[in-house]
Structure 1
Amino acid sequence: MKTFLLLTAFLLLSACQQGGNEQSLLEEKQNDPKFKYVSDSDPIEKKTMTREEAAEHLAGLAVQVPDVHDATAVVLGDYVAVGIDVDKDLDRSRVGVIKYSVAEALKNDPYGKQAAVFADADVVERLRGLGDKIAQGHPVDALTDELSQIVARYMPEGPVNEEPKSNNNQDSIPEEEQKNLDQVENEQSYSD
């Protein structure tokens, strides 16, 4: 038993000694003139905000984009949705440009990086309703479900981790021609 305790103590001391060597190596490298260590000159600090404060902040950023008359935002967990109110007479391509501009304005903000931007009047009203429910203190789980349904309705959905189909031209060849090709291939491989 004494041997076991002695061996354990020796291993612990050895492990601590190795950690100290790694620290001294790091300090030596930092003092080496061949290496230049710099800190991040433009760090983005994420201010601690409540969901409501973050939503107001994002809506304020969206309103600063030209041709956006009003904006509303909802922040629930990982979901961030921003609804913008634009002139109803604008054509679809112009609305797309405005939505893109809002998304660009939000992407540099820590809370708006992954925001979904909507310009549909129905969605904007639903987002306003969600914001009101949040302010009234409704359960977040139900609101998150509603927000995810809104986002899923308008965002394209596709396979996320699906393996790509093989790039095999045999899939595009008619079956009869494929049999002929297989036969020719077999004849060539056995005719050595």
Structure 2
Amino acid sequence: MKIRLMLILFVISLLLMSCNRNNTMPDNQRNENIAVEQSSYEDEVNLTNQEIASHLATIASEVPNVNDAAAVVAGPYAVVGINIDEATERQRVGTIKFSVNEALQHDPYGKTAVVVADADMTQRLRDMGDKIQQGHPVQGVVDELSEIVSRYMPMFPVDEDRPIDEDENRQKMTDEERRRLDNIEKEQSNQ
């Protein structure tokens, strides 16, 4: 009987040990330090307005057919004046301005810059840049820049969250008319 009892205890202990969970972590859950290099990290450099203006003028000058460029940045305003050959046709001037604007859009500092292709305005921008470097009050320059921007930029209405109006004519239609109209729209969209 003692042997039987020992055998039963041995089997029970063997079963208990075999049913015990392994306390090691699975391979996919081990705590290992993984070093990840951030690929989108850019050194954040705070440039002064004068450095940004110089940078924008350099970008604009590198566009083909632009002889020279001047830029002024003050507050939220950035205006880039470009000098183009006087013999250039008006249509070509628009294309060059578009090219400069496109080049500035790819730069984080030039996303909101206004491009002006007027020799007088470019000289005016140069004079404003000189005044800023001489230490003149920035408020006067900001006022002058806002005047330039308002003269060259059209006014756009502010986007408001307006409710979308249902088509009033659809509300007056009967169910049969609505189904026919929907079928006609589907047929036309598939062509």
Q: TM-score range by the shorter chain?
A: 0.5 to 0.7
Which 4+ residue blocks in structure 1 deviate beyond 3 angstroms? 37-41, 43-46, 161-170
Q: Is the 8 A contact 1:46 1:110 kept in 2?
A: no
Quick one: distance in 1 between partners of 2:114 and 2:44?
A: 19
Counterpart for residue 127 of structure 1:
125
What RMSD over aligned residues (CA atoms) do the two structures have, in Å? 3.1
Largest Rg, 1 or 2: 2
Instruction: State the one-letter code of the partner of 1:115.
Output: A
Counterpart for residue 53 of structure 2:
55
Counterpart for residue 184 of structure 1:
none
Alignment of 1:34-183 (within 5 A): 39-41=38-40, 43=41, 45-161=43-159
Which deviations, in whole Å up to 9, do the C-alpha atoms of 1:4-58 show, x marking residues without a partner?
Answer: xxxxxxxxxxxxxxxxxxxxxxxx8xx9xxxxx99444x5555322111111111
Residue 81 (structure 1) shift: 0.5
SS of the residue 1:134 aligns to: helix
Quick one: distance in 2 between partners of 1:75 and 1:137?
A: 14
Query: With structure 1 as the length reference, what TM-score do the two structures score?
Result: 0.62
Instruction: State the one-letter code of the partner of 1:152.
Output: S
Give structure 1 stretches of 5+ with no counterpart: 1-27, 32-36, 171-192
Instruction: State the one-letter code of the partner of 2:121.
Output: V
Quick one: distance in 1 between partners of 2:163 and 2:86?
A: 42
Give structure 2 stretches of 5+ with no counterpart: 1-28, 169-191
Instruction: State the one-letter code of the partner of 2:84.
Output: V
Q: State, as a whole percentage, how many aligned pairs show the same letter.
A: 51
Residue 123 (structure 1) shift: 1.4
Counterpart for residue 180 of structure 2:
none
Structure 1 167/64 Cα, relative in aligned 2: closer, same or farther at 3 Å?
same
- The alignment of Structure 1 onto Structure 2 pairs a total of residues equal to 145
Residue 161 (structure 1) shift: 3.6
Instruction: State the one-letter code of the partner of 1:61.
Output: I
Instruction: State the one-letter code of the partner of 2:83.
Output: D
Query: With structure 2 as the length reference, what TM-score do the two structures score?
Result: 0.62
